[in-house]
Structures are given as structure tokens and as C-alpha cells.
Amino acid sequence: MLSALSIPFVRPRWLTLPVSLSKVLRTVLRLVAAVGGGYALCAAWVALLSVALPRMTGLAQSEAVVLSAMLGYVLYLGVLLWAFSVRRLRQLCLLLLGGTVLAQQLPNRLRPSQRCTASL
């Protein structure tokens, strides 16, 4: 009588995965971090620039908003490209989070604008 240990099991080719599941999961997580985190980072920096440019350069508020929105597209493209060049996923997530928090906190540190509060 033959035992089950004497017959080698040959895995069918259609059951074999060419890429390990962990590599696919890391790529998906990197893509989610790049798209979601990059969007949050760029939105925060666009908001910061639209507030800071008029105060620092004397640019009109409307022009500063348009300029910062246009620069946001370039920044977003750069972040997406950079996200796939970073070696570690943890480093990518921490830098995206840190840059977003920094850009959100900096407008609070800027001087408040000089507004006329005269009543009629």
C-alpha cells in the first residue's frame, strides 16, 4: 500500500502566484498613500500659499489663490512621482503626514491680516 508521503504533490501552474501577495499589498498601500496623502499634502500647501503670498509679496488675494492652485497641480505631480521613488512605505507615510500637519499649522503662526474694523 502506498502512503500519501511517497507521492509528491505537484502544484498546478494556475495555482502558482508569480508575485507574492505582500508585494501586491505594499504596492496598493503605496498607491493609496500617494494618492490620498498627496492630495491632503497639496491641499494644505495650496491653502497655506493662498494665505501667505499676499502677506509676503503684496500680491492681490485673487491672484495668490489662482497662483497657488496652479502650483498645487505641479506639487501633486511631484509628490506622486516621489512616492514611488521612496524605498520605505513608513518613511513615505510619515513625510506625507508631517508635511500636511506642518502646512496646516503654519497659517496659525502667520500674523493676522490688517482688516478695517470701523463701524458705520
Predicted confidence (pLDDT) per residue in 32-63, tens digit? 999 999 999 999 999 999 999 998 888 999 99
The pLDDT tens digits of the residues spanning 83-116 come to 999 999 999 999 999 999 999 988 777 655 555 4
Nearest alpha carbon to residue 42 among 87, 77, 6, 83: 77
Mean of the per-residue pLDDT values of the chain: 84
Spatial distance between the Cα atoms of 17 and 83, rounded to a whole number of angstroms? 26
Round to whole Å and give the CA distance between 32 and 83: 10
Q: What does pTM read for this prediction?
A: 0.72
